[in-house]
């Protein structure tokens, strides 16, 4: 089997690429924006430039059986674009469609699109999200991921190429970027945090588990033309997450029992209501379909994986 991984030098992409390289039954190549700064990989990386409607994927797709599309414009803290939605759409929608169109022309058998649980929303109240939940994207990133999903489904209908869509929640590891990296730094600092009273529940997925599931979807016949919400299978509160990270770092967690409603008032007052939502509200998903349909089970459990992320972060910080 020949597999192309886009975004092969990214957080998830590099882990998928490395795992497939270790598989003797798979020939893996990667697509990156530029070869500058990438280590030598014996010609296994293809530089495709900026991703959009005009990207030329022909060389990268030669003889490929499966595409794992991870390259995307993700969350941007200090966005300099005047039209942020258009910038997201150019890469996340137009780029994905151009890649899929080229993949169909070149006879690719399966296209695996890594989307986001944000397509469903950013908060759950009474029940977890599942594959049958109505989409309700809450931000430009999630909105364009949903638009890409719909465009890819339309494109693949009637073609010979199978489509698999995966919507993960927060993906974590010791070297994770973004919000999880900021949490690791916060815990490592030893600063008291006002989250001791939180009883929210959040679904997460360890990098090892997500990589294993993606690779399962490259081979399993039952994954064809399916949507999957994927997680570690056990949810944790933000307070428990911080305690487990601190445990792995060999530190004592200092969590002050500040009520969540008061945190919401304070966050709103300083214009950080979105951070309160991410840290204090619940976001749960039901990932039972992956187990029932594919027989997949997580390689690591959430509590062990969070503690391990803390331990490894402390070793490298």
pLDDT tens digits, one per residue of 109-162: 999 999 999 999 999 998 999 999 999 998 999 999 999 999 999 999 999 999
**Cα distance between residue 101 and residue 84, in whole Å:** 25
Domain for residue 22, yes or no?
Answer: yes
User: Is 202 inside any structural domain?
Assistant: no
Distance CA 174, CA 156 (A): 36
How far out from the chain centre does Cα 101 lie?
23
Q: Render each residue's pLDDT in the chain as its tens digit; 317 residues.
A: 999 999 999 999 999 999 999 999 999 999 999 888 766 566 689 999 999 999 999 999 999 999 999 999 986 545 555 678 999 999 999 999 999 999 999 999 999 999 999 999 999 998 999 999 999 998 999 999 999 999 999 999 999 999 999 999 999 999 999 999 999 999 999 999 999 999 999 999 999 999 999 999 999 999 999 999 999 999 999 999 999 999 999 999 899 999 988 998 988 888 888 888 989 999 999 999 999 999 999 999 999 999 999 999 999 97
Q: 295 lies in a domain? A: no
- Note whether residue 272 is domain-resident: no
Between helices 178-189 and 238-249, what is the axis angle to 10°?
Answer: 60
Q: Residue 21 belongs to what domain range? A: 2-167
Q: Is 172 a catalytic residue?
A: no
Q: Which residue has the tokens 């949490």?
A: 183
In a domain, 42, yes or no: yes
Q: Which of 141, 146, 172, 313 is catalytic?
A: 141
Cβ-Cβ contacts under 8 Å for 243 (sequence gap 6 or more): 253, 255
Task: Give the H or E element holding residue 6.
Answer: strand 2-6
Q: Which residue has the tokens 């990270």?
A: 245
pTM for this prediction:
0.95
CATH number at residue 128: 3.40.50.720
Tokens 């390689």 belong to 299
What distance in Å separates the CA atoms of residue 156 and residue 162, rounded to the nearest whole number?
7
Q: Is residue 14 part of a domain?
A: yes
CA distances in angstroms from 230 to 102, 169, 296, 297, listed in the order given = 28, 7, 10, 11
Domain contains 218 = no
Domain membership of residue 138 (yes or no) is yes
The count of structural domains within the chain is 1
């Amino acid at each position: 089997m020949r597999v192309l991984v886009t975004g092969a030098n990214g957080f998830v992409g590099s882990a998928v690429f490395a795992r497939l390289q270790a598989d003797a039954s798979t020939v893996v190549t990667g697509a990156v924006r530029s070869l500058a700064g990438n280590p030598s990989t014996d010609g296994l990386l293809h530089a495709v430039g900026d991703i959009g409607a005009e990207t030329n994927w022909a060389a990268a797709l030669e003889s490929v059986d499966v595409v794992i599309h991870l390259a995307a414009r993700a969350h941007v803290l200090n966005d300099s674009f005047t039209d942020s939605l258009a910038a997201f759409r150019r890469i996340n929608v137009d780029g994905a469609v151009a890649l899929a169109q080229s993949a169909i022309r070149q006879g690719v058998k399966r296209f695996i699109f890594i989307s986001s649980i944000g397509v469903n929303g950013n908060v759950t109240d009474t029940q977890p999200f599942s594959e049958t939940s109505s989409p309700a994207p809450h931000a430009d990133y999630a909105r364009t991921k949903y638009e890409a999903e719909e465009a890819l489904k339309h494109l693949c209908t009637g073609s010979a190429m199978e489509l698999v869509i995966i919507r993960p929640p927060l993906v974590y590891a010791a070297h994770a970027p973004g919000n999880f990296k900021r949490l690791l730094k916060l815990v490592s600092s030893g600063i008291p945090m006002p989250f001791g009273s939180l009883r929210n529940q959040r679904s997460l997925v360890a990098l090892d588990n997500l990589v294993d599931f993606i690779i399962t979807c490259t081979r399993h016949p039952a994954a064809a033309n399916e949507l999957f919400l994927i997680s570690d299978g056990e949810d944790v509160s933000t307070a428990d997450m911080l305690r487990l990270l601190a445990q792995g770092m060999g530190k004592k967690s200092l969590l002050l029992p500040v009520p969540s409603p008061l945190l919401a008032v304070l966050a709103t007052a300083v214009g950080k209501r979105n951070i309160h939502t991410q840290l204090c509200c619940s976001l749960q998903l039901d990932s039972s379909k992956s187990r029932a349909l594919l027989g997949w089970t997580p390689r690591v459990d959430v509590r062990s994986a969070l503690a391990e992320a803390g331990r490894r972060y402390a070793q490298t910080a």
